[in-house]
Structure 1
Amino acid sequence: MNIRRIQMKDNSAIEQIIRECLMEFGGNRAGLAWEDDSLHQLYQYYTNDENRAYWIVEEEGTVLGGCGIAPFGKEEDICELQKMYLTSTTRGTGVATELLNIALDFAKHHYNKCYLETLQNMQGANRFYTKSGFERLNAPLAGSEHFACDAWYIKDLT
């Protein structure tokens, strides 16, 4: 498997993977990434600012997932791990750890903390984030746009 920065040609494939994952876990509803304007154009969203980036996991030219880093709201020192989704066949292969490490290495150059929001019923993801050093929060950070998320995490990058 190869991990690389997103390209324009990846937009529809990664949107489809994200939507399939959201449907799998009941996330195809308001207040979640399902309704994000940027979901149709992730390449444009993540490449128009040096403090944002998105990585694609691919194998033999087939997109298998990805994740991004972008500023969180108006906070200058906090980023958000965004849209980390993998196909069901890619989960559990260890590629998520590689993908997360690449994203966090990027984040460390621009931010002091990394925040993320998810759903409690994504149990594998929640275990993964805890294992990766994220601390569970009791509530979302102020400024969160995904009001339907019910699990929040933060990680110190310093």
Structure 2
Amino acid sequence: MKTQHLDFLIRSWETRDRADAFHLIRDILAEYGLQCEPYGADRDVYDVELFYHTKGGEFWVVERQGKIVGTAGYYPIERGNNAVEIRKMYILPAIRGKGLGKFLLRELETKIIARGFDEIWIETASILKEAVQMYETSGYLPTTGVETPRCDRVYVKSLG
């Protein structure tokens, strides 16, 4: 996967991205007062091959001038109806407000629809106000069944 948005390159994750992507997510979580959980909720970004590639998902990085400034991914899940979960959608503070988040979400949805999935699930935390607002204005409906301890919201969007 490789696409452009403004001066951002969105591409498939490569092994060399492991540390940079992990540190970006750790730092953004800290910005909101949330703990990074390398052996829990955040293990997937440290083991992308196991959590995304072997499960039939994808993990993307967003670059600007050769530096990783964002991440996003999805993989198939058991809950729901032929569903995937969007995970690790993070963008550095200096990059926010340029429409990149909405662009990434639309790109993920387009790819997920093309692959024949019927539902998208997203878990997040209320403190991530920008993300909550974006999901709610993009057709994601609140539901129940949060599975990640640091999250307190779960959304689902039917693609049918």
TM-superposition CA deviations, 1:40-71 (whole Å, max 9, x none)? 1325532234x300111111111001110111
Aligned to 1:126: 132
1:1-158 correspondence to structure 2 within 5 Å: 1-28=8-35, 35-43=41-49, 45-49=51-55, 51-73=56-78, 77-108=82-113, 109-137=115-143, 139-140=144-145, 144=147, 146-158=148-160
Partner Cα distance (2:100, 2:77) in 1: 25
Partner Cα distance (1:36, 1:15) in 2: 8
Aligned to 2:5: none
Q: How much does 1:112 deviate?
A: 0.4
Would you say the 8 A contact 1:117–1:149 is kept in 2?
yes
The residue matched to 1:97 in structure 2 has which SS?
Answer: helix
User: Cα–Cα, structure 1 residues 124 and 40, in superposed 2: closer, same or farther, change >3 Å?
Assistant: same
Q: How much does 1:105 deviate?
A: 1.3
Partner Cα distance (2:128, 2:39) in 1: 14
Q: Give the unaligned 5+ runs of structure 2.
A: 1-7
Highest RCO, 1 vs 2 (Cα 8 Å, sep ≥ 6): 1
| CA RMSD of superposed structures (Å) | 2.2
Residue 59 of structure 2 aligns with an amino acid whose one-letter code is Y
TM-score (norm 1): 0.85
Q: Give the unaligned 5+ runs of structure 1.
A: none
How many aligned positions are there? 152
Residue 68 of structure 1 aligns with an amino acid whose one-letter code is G
Partner Cα distance (1:27, 1:81) in 2: 19
Q: How much does 1:29 deviate?
A: 5.8
